[in-house]
Structure 1
Amino acid sequence: MITFKRTDSSHPDFIQLVALLDADLATRDGEDHAFYDQFNGITDIGHAIVAFREEIPVGCGGIKEFKNDMMEVKRMYVIPEARGTGMGSAILQELERWTAELGYTHCILETGKRQPEAIALYKKNGYTVIPNYGPYEAMKNSVCFQKDVSFSKNQDQ
């Protein structure tokens, strides 16, 4: 059984999963890792989700305000053993629900071209590619996405 815990970035399981994510990204991003790492701190993430299967943490994600009507999805990760099971989509959909519950209408995010699994996940879940934003504007390795999640609030009622 899969359960989600809504928490913040101080939760020990979230911190542990983000450490695994950072190790993976250091390998994938190579020389670009130091640039991306500066935008991937977790202290500003007030809304974090940890996914558990049989009480074992298997994935995480977070959201933080980007603009008045928009949350930025951050620190999405699923352990290798749980990939291909729909876990990433489940975490993302829970983050979208939470975003809508908080009154925001859109999610925005950045991922890297060296993360084809992440790109496929976001496209599969209805995210559309947008021009690179903020600190990622000049990064050729970045791909940015956006999705209207205002529907999520209405679906749950």
Structure 2
Amino acid sequence: MAVTIAVESPLQDEVRALIAELNEVLLTLSPPEACYHLTVEQMAEPGVTVWIARDEGGVVVGCGALKRHSAATGEVKRMYTRPQWQGRGIGRAILAEIVAAAEADGIGELVLETGDRHPAAWAIYEKAGFIRCGPVLDYPQSPYSIFYQKQLGRASSAA
């Protein structure tokens, strides 16, 4: 079954339900103090772009977001694919959209924080060229967090 990925508002009921589902999943894997969720309202703020994956019937099956912290730094946020859709390349496709948008914006570096119990996510990030690093932005060092960064083409070739 084909999936489409497009920039959409997170302020839709279907997307709110997907984000609530994501939050529930994350809270089963990490303590609340180690979960750094953006609310759907925060996802709708200027400087944040949200991609939504939908199946052929228009049902929301996944999401991801780019949060711009500065002209130089962007953050990958809210990456999630519903369990029954995992393993079909949806996360990779959403991440590719995020990376392409960041490069088009001239962002030089993408960073992210993910949990210590998310090996499928690590594989997606690492295959996309992200490398593990220490804490990024204002995230604290935590045994529950894994951090990644990726230098983007335009900035690294201009340096």
TM over 0.5: yes
Match of 1:80 in 2: 83
Identity of aligned residues (%): 29
Map 1:4-153 onto structure 2 (within 5 A): 4-29=5-30, 32-37=31-36, 39-45=37-43, 46-54=48-56, 55-150=58-153
Structure 1, unaligned runs of 5 or more? 152-157
Deviation for aligned residue 1:114: 1.3
CA distance in 1: counterparts of 2:63 and 2:28, whole angstroms: 20
In structure 1, what is the Cα distance between the partners aligned to 2:16 and 2:142? 27
1:113–1:119 Cα contact (<8 Å) kept: no
CA deviation after TM superposition for structure 1 residue 138, in Å? 2.2
The verdict on how the C-alpha distance between 1:40 and 1:58 changes in structure 2, with shifts beyond 3 A counting, is: same
Of 60-69 and 7-16, deviating more is 7-16
Aligned positions, number: 148
Offset, 1:14: 2.6
TM-score of the two chains, using structure 2 as the length reference: 0.83
The one-character-per-residue Cα deviations of 1:45-104 (angstroms, maximum 9, x if unpaired) are 331000112122110011111232111111000000110111110110011112122221
**Residue type of the alignment partner of 1:27:** T
Pairwise CA RMSD = 1.8
- Aligned mates of 2:108, 2:141 — CA distance in 1: 26
Letter in 2 for 1:58: V
Please give the TM-score of this superposition, normalised by the length of structure 1: 0.84
1:99 and 1:12 map into 2 onto residues whose CA distance is: 27
